A and B are shown apart, each in its own frame.
Chain A
Amino acid sequence: MYNYPDSTGHFGQFGGIYMAETLIPAVEELRDAYLHFRDDAEFKAEFANELKHYVGRPSPIYHAKNWSDRLGGAQIYLKREDLNHTGAHKINNAMGQALLAKRMGKKRVIAETGAGMHGVATATVAARYGMECVVYMGAEDIQRQAPNVYRMKLLGATVVPVESGSKTLKDACNEAIRDWVTNVESTFYIFGTAAGPHPYPMMVRDFQCVIGNEARVQMPEMIGRQPDAVIACVGGGSNAIGIFHPYIEIEGVRLIGVEAGGHGIASGSHAAPLTSNSKVGVLHGNRVYLMQDENGQIIETHSISAGLDYPGVGPEHCWLKDTGRAEYVAINDDEAMRAFHDLCRFEGIIPALESSHALAHAAKIAPTMRKDQVLLVNLSGRGDKDINTVARLSGITL
């Protein structure tokens, strides 16, 4: 029976609580509150109700038949997290944490964001529950995700540009942690991915498991069985763990996580700690595989997609890699772009650049498989936020 993390937040050697002393009591308070409310009937009922009526769940699964036919192999099915309110899976987790914040009496929420989807989701739930909201976002990401910055502002959030370091997601995390340590008693940190100090990797996973739990019911309804493989993109890894986790104990279903290969693993310019065999290290509260130099300094990552542009990965993915239950691969920027355009043209769906990495891997392996085999891809978000990036890369000025 798969039962991780242990009571101290470890997945084997991974995970844990690596935080400055000032924040340890806050993390423990959060852990105790989560352990209490996760089994609370009223909490569970409110969460389910919000997911149904506010987020719009369950999200459908769609058979991408045109694209599958063109690829000429396995059938590709898409779990449509892009159809959620706010356009990505991030709202599942933001909603769960906001409901917890409400019960803990926290009136102020903060978040880090890369692509902006988690920031938008957090700003949305903060508006919904009347909470003050501050979102930290790398200055470079603010440039490449301008529409999401304005969405957050429309929703009443304050967006703080982060100018330190590489000015991307990891630096936004640093700044959010600095805010939390300063305002620890009033503030709930709505962390966006299944990483960070315990209980975040467990809690975010649990809130995101609605994806896989639905798929486990939907696939047999559609095709009479479970898929041969489940494919999801991995930055921190919250959409992937959300769809993987309910499948861990279902034999015969391959779990494939797709990291951002950037300009290629060999170039060193990527964001793929698992695929590039990075060393284990400690950052942002947990022990994970981490892109770092020989002196233990975190190195700057590159990905076309801001949401995957992160040097670490959640501890449960590290564990699933080591145990062999999941496999991890990388997709380069240009392969992701091709999948992005193909899904637009052949299926009428504009996918997020993050999700396009998962799509690209499906497109890579589908032709090697039989036509009666099935790939379930988590289409974790929609790509409206990315049209400026795609246009720029195509030499077009909007």
Chain B
Amino acid sequence: MSRIDQTFAALGQRKALIPFITAGDPSPEMTVPLMHALVASGADILELGVPFSDPMADGPTIQRASERALIKGVSLRSVLNMVAEFRQQNTTTPVVLMGYGNPIEAMGWDVFAQRCDEVGVDGVLTVDFPPEESHDAFAHLQRYNIAPIFLLAPTTTESRIQQVAKLARGYVYYVSLKGVTGAGNLDLSAIADKIPQLRQHISLPIGVGFGIRDAETALAVAKLCDGVVVGSRIVQAIEDSTEANVIANVSALVSGLKQAVEQA
């Protein structure tokens, strides 16, 4: 059983809190301490953003985080090393890499999948690789039992949901609004309408993200699904902090989110 499957099995009816940070933001040295702090504050799964020069699906907050990381020389190679370092102390919390396909293409999917296996990456989400273009890529992931995580959107059709259901492992990530990361126009009733449609075809846990900004929205969303993904709000807290207080600020924020999600 994979770490992701074990995590959801252990949660039972409780909902997962899945925070996102960009690897290398605010600095490469802070990423592993932040990952441990997220876990200590109640994170069930970690999504670690791989910075990319052209983050087309991201709003300004995560764009700036990517830029901060890239300026400090962060690459896919160094992100994998960060996961290896994290695993020296934590062997149970799943880590999902989230980003765009080109850095992986440049490394080669075979090398990448092997490195993921070596360092302890559990899932990979490539925003700009839909199932149609992913067959070769995900064959490499499959060889090492790394879960391909897929996005589903309010615009996703029934037939595409079925297609994703066949390929997805771990969990699926429902993008709760039409827009980039960090947008604010969350429509809870639309999520409530869509999740049952997804459940008809998808037996995996469903995480929901995009637009979750506080404990109140986290609780409301958690009631509708199996896991809550919070990204831009945490990245914003990192941006607003200094190196001295970033761990404390992020921990406080994530603890608050955890309390909310626990009530669902």
Contact = CB atoms under 8 A, between A and B. Distances in A.
A182 B160 contact: no
B75 A164 contact: no
Contact of B56 (A25, A177, A279, A292): A177
Contact of B128 (A18, A26, A185): A18
Interface of B (DSSP majority class): loop
B240 interface: no
A326 B147 CA distance: 41
Interface string A20-64: 111111100000000000000000000000000000000000000
A17 B76 CA distance: 23
B250 interface: no
Interface size class of B (residues with CB under 8 A): 35 or more
A161 interface: no
Nearest to B134: A18
A282 interface: yes
**Among A18, A170, A177, A283, residue most surrounded by chain B Cβ atoms (within 10 Å):** A18
Nearest to B180: A178
B101 A18 contact: yes
Contacts of A24: 130, 155-156, 160
Given A178-B59, A294-B106, A295-B76, A22 B175 contact: yes
A23 B53 CA distance: 20
Given A182-B179, A281-B102, A283-B54, A17 B133 contact: yes
Contacts of A20: 56-57, 127-128, 151, 153
A295 B178 CA distance: 30
Interface residues of A, number: 41
Contact of A181 (B52, B57, B129): B57
B72 interface: no
A185 B190 CA distance: 15
A22 B178 contact: yes
Nearest to B63: A164
A165 interface: yes
A184 B103 contact: no
Interface string A152-184: 000000000000110000110110011001111
A177 B154 CA distance: 17
A223 B133 CA distance: 47
A298 interface: yes
B151 A21 contact: yes
A284 interface: yes
B224 interface: no
Interface string A275-307: 000011111110100101011111100000000
Interface in B127-179: 127-130, 132-133, 150-157, 160, 175, 178-179
B77 A295 contact: yes
Contact of B104 (A165, A171, A182, A296): A296
B178 to A, nearest CB: 6
A19 interface: yes
B56 A174 contact: yes
Contacts of A21: 130, 150-153, 155-156, 160, 175
B30 interface: no
30 contacts: A8-B132, A18-B130, A20-B127, A20-B128, A21-B152, A21-B175, A25-B153, A25-B157, A25-B160, A164-B67, A165-B54, A170-B54, A174-B56, A178-B180, A181-B178, A181-B179, A185-B178, A282-B128, A284-B54, A285-B128, A287-B133, A292-B102, A295-B77, A295-B106, A295-B107, A296-B52, A296-B102, A296-B104, A297-B52, A297-B70
Interface of A: 8, 16-26, 164-165, 170-171, 173-174, 177-178, 181-185, 279-285, 287, 290, 292, 294-299
